[in-house]
Amino acid sequence: MARTASPVGPAKPLDPGTEQIQADPSVADLLGVLRRHLTMDVAFLGRLDEQYLLLQVFDGDPSVFGLQPGSTIRRQAALYPAELAHDAPIVIPDTHADQRTADAPIVHGLDIGSYAAALVYDTDDEVYGIVGCFGRQPRPHLRPRDGQFVDLLAAFLRDAVIDLRRVWESRSHLSRIISDIIDDGGPQIVFQPVVSLADGSIAGVEALSRFPGSQRDPEGWYKVAAQLGLGTELELAAIRHALTVLPGLPPSVALSLNAAPATIASGLLGLLRSFGACDRVIVEITEHEYFSTDPVVMRDIQALRSLGTRIAVDDTGTGYSGLEQLIQLRPEIVKLDYLITHRMDVDPARRAVAAAIVSVAREIGGQVIAEGIESTAELRTATEIGIGFGQGYLLGRPARTLRAACSPTPGLFRPAPAPAR
């Protein structure tokens, strides 16, 4: 027996243009008015294209129908082609009893019991999409005249959809850019030295992503990629790019790679194995809030460790969750966040937090790297409280080549005096 095609198309998560939606709160407010007026479970605004109805904004909980912002409904399966063809709003109190919708795939696929909708036009009188409501159960109280209310609300949305169109265009543009970066082998990689504070030697280099020609910082790009569903793919591309420098890395220098928990659970182990790199690498876990409760991530972390990879956690000292993860994971390397390192030479509270983290790291057998060392006073304080390694502009800025990154900064560290005879 042939299987019925799903009425729901591929998800197309919205990009950080979400702040553009929030800039016009009337969209969500109006949807809330509609949902409450019709006593439905979910109200939505969606944009039509040649293939799909793209659901952009919701009021209520769309997950009860298996939907989310960015979900699509195949145009031929959606509840609108014939009913809305003449620009008339539609109100269906019981979708299973109404002959127009009783056999509609979306009614059965999403378990929709009641429905109301109207077309939304833009300011050029072109059809933008649909505003409507889904109810899980039939709503016998609904009457055809309720369609006038839906139509009135659709008219109020004419100006708002201009911003939503910009959001979608922005999402599409950013998606193409990030896909091109991935296809081209990943972002540009620069290397920042990790310096031994005992003698100034280079103990490691951290691979950092750069996106040329952009005002957006690298963290912002990864946030965008995650919202587009491309975060893991972009991060793996960056890691793959960084690993190509391993043959030129001095034997005594480690390569530090940033990876979110989702990336660790999505093939990082196999990638490192393919480069024969597990024992040359430090995996610095980012976005680490509560990942220790994920058995897949923890399994892959233990597998990495078994092959010689050291695990580092960043942003330590800036929140309870970071300290909790420190205790749960017991990493080989603890990175002290810039917010703690900065001005700890003159701030007793920062110095006390840094000293406490050094003490905890010693108890679990780990080493501490202080990030963001920018002054000789901060360097001196880090050394005094027992921090073994550091990063920061004072010790070395990110460099385009390994050779530059592995060259110690002259004049910062004096050789130890010869022992007296």
DSSP 124-181: TS-EEEEEEEEESS--TT--TTHHHHHHHHHHHTTTHHHHHHHHHHHHHHHHHHHHHH
CB 140 within 8 A of CB 97: no
CB 65 within 8 A of CB 42: yes
Element (H, E) at 73: strand 72-74
C-alpha span between 143 and 268 (Å, rounded):
56
C-alpha span between 359 and 195 (Å, rounded):
20
Q: How confident is the model at residue 159 (pLDDT cuts 50, 70, 90)?
A: confident
Is the pLDDT at 5 greater than 50? The verdict is no
For residue 293, report the phi and psi dihedrals to the nearest 5 degrees. -90, 0
CB 89 within 8 A of CB 38: no
Which among 391, 386, 385 is positioned nearest to 405, based on CA atoms? 391
State the pLDDT at residue 214. 60
State the pLDDT at residue 350. 94
Q: Report CA torsion sign: 68, 69, 75, 81.
A: positive
State the pLDDT at residue 8. 56
Name the token pair of 2.
């042939």
The separation between CA 311 and the C-alpha centre of its own chain, rounded to angstroms, equals: 21
Task: Give, in order, the Cα–Cα distances in Å from 94 to each of 53, 86, 118, 283.
Answer: 22, 22, 17, 55
Is the pLDDT at 415 greater than 60? The verdict is no
Is the pLDDT at 1 greater than 70? The verdict is no
In 3-state terms, what secondary structure has residue 60? Answer: strand
State the pLDDT at residue 57. 87
For residue 418, report the phi and psi dihedrals to the nearest 5 degrees. -65, 140
Q: Which of 53-67, 72-86, 229-243 has the lowest mean pLDDT?
A: 72-86
Q: In this predicted model, what pLDDT tens digit does every residue of 180-191 receive, in sequence order? A: 899 999 999 999
Q: How confident is the model at residue 73 (pLDDT cuts 50, 70, 90)?
A: confident
If you average pLDDT over residues 322-326, what whole number do you get?
68
State the pLDDT at residue 342. 92
Q: Which residues contact 128 (CB under 8 A, 6 or more apart)?
A: 47, 48, 120, 121, 122, 161, 164, 165
Higher pLDDT residue, 77 or 12? Answer: 77
State the pLDDT at residue 80. 58
If you average pLDDT over residues 152-180, what whole number do you get?
77
State the pLDDT at residue 227. 73
Rounded mean pLDDT of the chain? 84
Q: How confident is the model at residue 372 (pLDDT cuts 50, 70, 90)?
A: very high
Q: How confident is the model at residue 366 (pLDDT cuts 50, 70, 90)?
A: very high
Terminal C-alpha separation, the chain: 94
**What residues does 408 pair with on adjacent strands?**
none
If you average pLDDT over residues 192-215, what whole number do you get?
90
C-alpha span between 408 and 215 (Å, rounded):
30
If you average pLDDT over residues 15-36, what whole number do you get?
65
Fill in the amino acid letter for 327.
Answer: I
State the pLDDT at residue 138. 96
C-alpha span between 317 and 319 (Å, rounded):
6
DSSP 280-331: GEEEEE-S-TTGGG-HHHHHHHHHHHHTT-EEEEEEETS-HHHHHHHHHH--
Burial grade of 24 (CB within 10 A; 0-12, 13-18, 19 or more): middle
Is the pLDDT at 105 greater than 90? The verdict is no
Predicted structure pTM score: 0.66
DSSP 329-370: H--SEEEEPHHHHTTTTT-HHHHHHHHHHHHHHHHTT-EEEE
Q: Are strands 114-121 and 90-92 parallel, antiparallel or unpaired?
A: antiparallel
For residue 128, report the phi and psi dihedrals to the nearest 5 degrees. -90, -50
If you average pLDDT over residues 154-168, what whole number do you get?
73
Higher pLDDT residue, 108 or 213? Answer: 108
Conformation bin of residue 298: beta by default, left when phi > 0, alpha when psi is -120 to 50: alpha
Is the pLDDT at 4 greater than 50? The verdict is no
State the pLDDT at residue 207. 96
Helix axes of 348-363 and 376-384: crossing angle, nearest 10 degrees: 40
Higher pLDDT residue, 342 or 414? Answer: 342
CB 110 within 8 A of CB 8: yes
Report the percentage of the chain scoring pLDDT > 90.
Answer: 49
For residue 411, report the phi and psi dihedrals to the nearest 5 degrees. 90, -10
CB 102 within 8 A of CB 13: no
Is the pLDDT at 320 greater than 50? The verdict is no
Is the pLDDT at 150 greater than 80? The verdict is yes
